[in-house]
Amino acid sequence: MARKTGSHSEITGPKIKQAALELFARHGFAAVTMRQIAARVGVQAGAIYNYTPDKQALLFDLLHGHMADLLTRWAQEHVPHDPVAALDHFVAFHLDFHIRRPELVFISYMELRNLTEENFKAIEEKRSRYEKIVYDMILKGVRSGDFQVPDAKITSFALIAMLTGVVDWFREDGRLSSDELTRQYCALARQTLGVNAPA
């Protein structure tokens, strides 16, 4: 047959994905060329097409993999029954997952409009699933009386926005450790959801 051990494909493939991720995050999908990606991998542009049908698929695979990863990992979490504990748990999970992948979070928000309509729908569907998780969590706490919010839907958007916004400024080597970050945002999230608020 042909090579198995010593084959480059198991190296080049991931390297292409990684290079595409970094370049898309830095310059934006439309501004990045296949030749730039190839150069970063140390290969000619044509070689990329052994690993992806086209540039669009390169973007889609990154975004789709990211969302699939997010949902899979959340499904594996053991969520406490108490609404306040569940909130803390979610905040910790969301922050941890997102600050570990700043580039993916970035392009998942920025490059949606560079997706084919069909590809866009696939991502959108997964995103909605995640937003529903947050909404349901808030609703449960409101019904039990643990949370007090003006509007559950709005609050779910606000909570996600303020948590995800962290990747815009947080740096692993900054003045704040990720543990400290989580603690601060748990407190902030509790306040936002009106935990212990006067009836």
From the list DNA, a second copy, none, pick the one residue 95 interacts with, judged by a Cβ distance below 5 to 8 Å according to partner type.
Answer: none
Alpha helices in the chain, H assignment, sequence order: 9-27, 34-41, 55-76, 83-99, 102-110, 117-144, 152-164, 178-192
Q: Is residue 116 a contact residue for DNA (CB under 7 A)?
A: no
Q: Which of 68, 79, 85, 197 binds a second copy (CB under 8 A)?
A: 197
Q: Which of 18, 28, 47, 140 binds DNA (CB under 7 A)?
A: 47
Tokens matching residue 62: 């990154």
Q: Is residue 53 a contact residue for a second copy (CB under 8 A)?
A: no
Q: Which of 165, 171, 177, 179 binds a second copy (CB under 8 A)?
A: 165
Helix (H, G, I), strand (E, B) or coil at 173: coil
Spatial contact of 29 and 115, defined as CB atoms under 8 Å apart: no
Q: Looking at beta carbons only, is 11 or 197 nearer to a second copy?
A: 197
Q: Is residue 36 a contact residue for DNA (CB under 7 A)?
A: yes
Q: Is residue 12 a contact residue for DNA (CB under 7 A)?
A: yes
Window contacting DNA (CB under 7 A); options: 47-55, 61-69, 83-91, 158-166: 47-55
3-state per-residue secondary structure call for 40-93: HHCCCHHHHHHCCCCHHHHHHHHHHHHHHHHHHHHHHCCCCCCHHHHHHHHHHH
CA-CA-CA-CA dihedral for 119, 123, 129, 134, to nearest 10:
-160
- Site residues (CB under 7 A) for DNA? 1-12, 32-36, 38, 42-47, 49-50, 54-56
Binding site for a second copy (CB under 8 A): 26-31, 110, 113-114, 148-151, 154-155, 157-162, 164-166, 168-169, 176, 181, 183-185, 187-188, 191-194, 196-198
